[in-house]
Amino acid sequence: MRRIKTLFMSLLTFVLAIPGLALAAGGGGAPVVIVADTRKLDGVLAWWANLYNESHLQFAVLTIILIPLVGVIFGVIADIVMNWIGIDLKSRELAEH
Amino acid sequence: MEWLYILMPIAGVKIFWPGLIILGVGVGIIGGFFGMGGAWMVTPGLNILGFPMAFAIGTDIAHMAGKSLISTMRHGKFGNVDYKLGMIMLVGTVVGFEVGAQMVMWLERMGNVEKVVRWIYIALLAAIAWMVFHDVAKRREKERLAAARGEKLEAGATGVEWHKALHKIKIPPMVHLKEAGVYCSAWLPIFVSFATGWLAGILGIGGGLIRMPALIYLIGCPTHVAVGTDLFEVMISGLYGAATYTYKGRTELVAAMIMLVGASVGAQVGAVATKYIKGYGIRIAFGLAVVGCALSILMKLVQPWVPQFKDALDTSATVLVLGLVSGMSLYIFIRMIQGVKMELARKKAA
C-alpha cells in the first residue's frame, strides 16, 4: 500500500512539473492562408465559400452551431425510427459476461 | 455519373459523395460501439476519396463531434454515461492534451521526433492489446476455477482488477461516481485523464483508443459505462477541436455534413448494439481493432528498411484499415439485428 502511495505521489509530482517545462517551449509555425475558389460555385455553396474567404470567425461560429444541430436532428429521427421498430431504447442489462 | 460527385466549396475538389456516406456509416458504427472518434480509420478513407490532407483532419474532427453527440445521447438514455466522471476527466484531458502538444514542439526542436512518436504509439497499442487479452485470459481462468468449485462467476466479475489497488488510495477529496459504481479519490480520474490526454497530445490523436481501456482498467468502470463516458469526452473535445480547426480554415463542412448523414445512422446502430453484446465481447473486439491499428502503423514504419516494398506496404495498410472498418461494422450490425430480432420475439411472446 505504501509503495503504491509513493508511486502515485511521485507520478503526480512528475505530472505537475511537466507543464512548466512544456509551456516554456512555446511553439507555432507560420500560418498558411487558404482561399476558396468561388468561380465555379453558385447558390448556398458560393455563399458558404464567400463566408469562408471573408471571415473565418463567422465561418467557425456557424460550423459549431450547425454540427450539433444536425447531429441532434439526425439522432432524433433515428430514435423515432428505432422506437417505431419496437426497440427498447431506455434500458439495458449491464453484464460483463 | 457526374451526379455522384460533389464539388467541395472550400477544398475545391470533386468528391464521390456516396463514399463519404459509406465511410460515415462504418466509423459511426465502430465509434458508437467502442466509444472512440476513430480518426485513425477516417483519415486513410478520406485520402482514398481524394481529400487534400490539409482538410482531412479538420473535416474528420467536425463530423466526429456530431457523431459522438448522437452516440452520447443514446448511451446517456441507457445509463451508460457517468457525466460527473466525464466532467472531472475533461479538465485533466484538456490540460494534458495541451501539455502533450507543447511537448511535441519542444521535442521537435531537439531533432526529428516523428518516428519516435510513431514507435511510442506502437508500444502503447501493443500494451493496450496485451492488457485486453491478458484480462480476457484471466477472466476465463477465474471462470474455470469457479466451475471446478461448482460455482458460477457473477455477471459483473472481471479478469484483472488493478483498479481495486488504485481505489485504496484515499487522498481527499473522495468522489462517488454513481453510474460507474466507483468510490475513489478525485485525484485518480484527474491523474488518469491527464496522462491519457498528455499521451494523446504527444501522439496527435483524439485519445479514445487510450481513454476507453484506461477507464476500464484504471478507474474500474464497467465496459458499457467506459464506452458511454468516453464518448461524452470525445464529443466535448471534438467540438473544441472542430472550433479550432475551423477557425484556422481547415474544415470542409459540406463533407462533414454528408459524412454525418451516414455516421448518425451508424452511431445509433453501434450504440444500440452494445445493448445486445456483453462487456467482454466489446473488450475482445476492441483488442482486435487495436491490433489492426498497430499493424497498419507498423507497415508505415518499416518502409525505410524495405523501400522496394513501399507501395505494397502503403496499399496493404490502407486495405487493412478499410477492411477492419468494413468487417467490424458488419459484425456489429449483424449482432445488433440478431439482438433486435430476439428482443422483438421476446416481446411478442410475453
pLDDT category, A12, cuts 50, 70, 90?
low
Angle at B27 between CA B221 and CA A82, to 5 degrees: 80
- Contacting residues of B for A10, CB less than 8 Å apart: none
Residue B345 has pLDDT above 50, yes or no: yes
Q: pTM of the prediction?
A: 0.83
Residues 151-190 of B with CB under 8 A from A: 153, 155-158, 165-166, 168-169, 171, 187
Q: Per-residue pLDDT tens for B174-230?
A: 999 999 999 999 999 999 999 998 888 887 777 888 899 999 999 999 989 999 999
Mean pLDDT of B153-172: 85
3-class state of residue B15 by DSSP: strand
Nearest to A87 among B171, B272, B280 (CB): B272
Residue B332 has pLDDT above 80, yes or no: yes
Helices (H), A1-97: 2-25, 43-54, 56-85
Q: Per-residue pLDDT tens for A22-81?
A: 555 554 445 566 788 888 888 888 998 999 999 889 999 999 999 989 888 988 888 888
pLDDT at B55: 79
pLDDT at B321: 83
How close is the nearest chain A Cα to the Cα of B11, in Å?
A: 7
- Contacting residues of A for B32, CB less than 8 Å apart: none
The answer, for B256 touching chain A at a CB cutoff of 8 Å, is yes
Give the separation between CA B166 and CA B117, rounded to whole angstroms: 28
Nearest to A78 among B246, B253, B264 (CB): B264
Query: How many CB atoms within 10 Å of residue B3?
Result: 6
Cβ contacts of residue B154 below 8 Å, gap of 6+? Answer: none
Give the separation between CA A50 and CA A45, rounded to whole angstroms: 9
B185 beta partners: B174
User: CB contacts < 8 Å between A and B, how many?
Assistant: 193
Residue B142 has pLDDT above 70, yes or no: yes
Q: Is B251 exposed, middle or buried (0-12, 13-18, 19+ CB in 10 A)?
A: buried
Q: Which of A46-55, B16-25, B117-126, B335-344 shows the lowest mean pLDDT across its residues? A: B117-126
Q: Per-residue pLDDT tens for B39-69?
A: 777 877 787 788 777 678 788 888 888 888 9
B69 close to B242: Cβ distance less than 8 angstroms:
no
Give the separation between CA A59 and CA B306, rounded to whole angstroms: 45
